[in-house]
């Protein structure tokens, strides 16, 4: 039987991989959007689905930043408070669960946003690419 810490470690590994993949998918999406952009008279135009895909890319990357910025700030502040209370490094502590909720929310928002990026890209590709 596995211990709770084993399941928690699995969660950390998998959520870290999702975060890495979201970033890679967003950068790839920007490249795809760049390929399908239309230039006319020195103005870049995007078909509507690609416009929305680009907005979803920005949202996904913003949520990714927010997740890590919040988590590093919250846990840094929590740790600093414990240090000021002279809590030893090896002391067992119970952190308030609410500290993780915003990070979890940002994680799911960025994942949803990354899915929406590709929904919009596939919408565009389905409309313009036809098999011969």
pLDDT tens digits for 40-74?
Answer: 888 888 999 999 999 999 999 999 999 999 999 99
Task: Flag the least confident range among 37-46, 75-84, 98-107, 110-119.
Answer: 37-46
Whether 120 shows a pLDDT value over 80: the answer reads yes
Closest CA relative to residue 57, chosen from 114, 105, 104: 114
The domain containing residue 43 runs over which residues?
4-128
Q: What was the pLDDT predicted at 95?
A: 85
CB atoms inside a 10 Å sphere around CB 107: 21
Q: Where are the alpha helices (DSSP H) in the chain?
A: 4-36, 48-84, 101-128
Has residue 89 got a pLDDT over 90? no
Mean pLDDT for 10-27 is 91
Q: How many domains does the chain have?
A: 1
Residue among 20, 50, 28 at smallest CA distance from 122:
50
Q: Is the pLDDT of residue 37 over 90?
A: no
Give the largest Cα separation in the chain, rounded: 71
pTM for this predicted structure = 0.85
């Amino acid at each position: 039987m596995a211990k709770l810490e084993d399941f928690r470690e699995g969660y950390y590994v998998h959520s870290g991989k999702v975060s890495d993949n979201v970033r890679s998918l967003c950068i790839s999406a920007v490249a795809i959007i760049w390929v399908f952009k239309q230039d006319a008279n020195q103005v870049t135009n995007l078909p509507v689905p690609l416009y929305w895909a680009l907005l979803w890319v920005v949202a996904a990357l913003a949520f990714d930043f927010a997740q890590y910025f919040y988590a590093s700030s919250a846990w840094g502040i929590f740790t600093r408070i414990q240090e000021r209370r002279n809590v030893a490094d090896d002391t067992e502590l119970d952190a308030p669960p609410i500290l993780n909720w915003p990070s979890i929310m940002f994680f799911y928002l960025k994942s949803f946003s990354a899915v929406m990026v590709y929904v919009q890209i596939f919408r565009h590709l389905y409309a313009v690419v036809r098999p011969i």
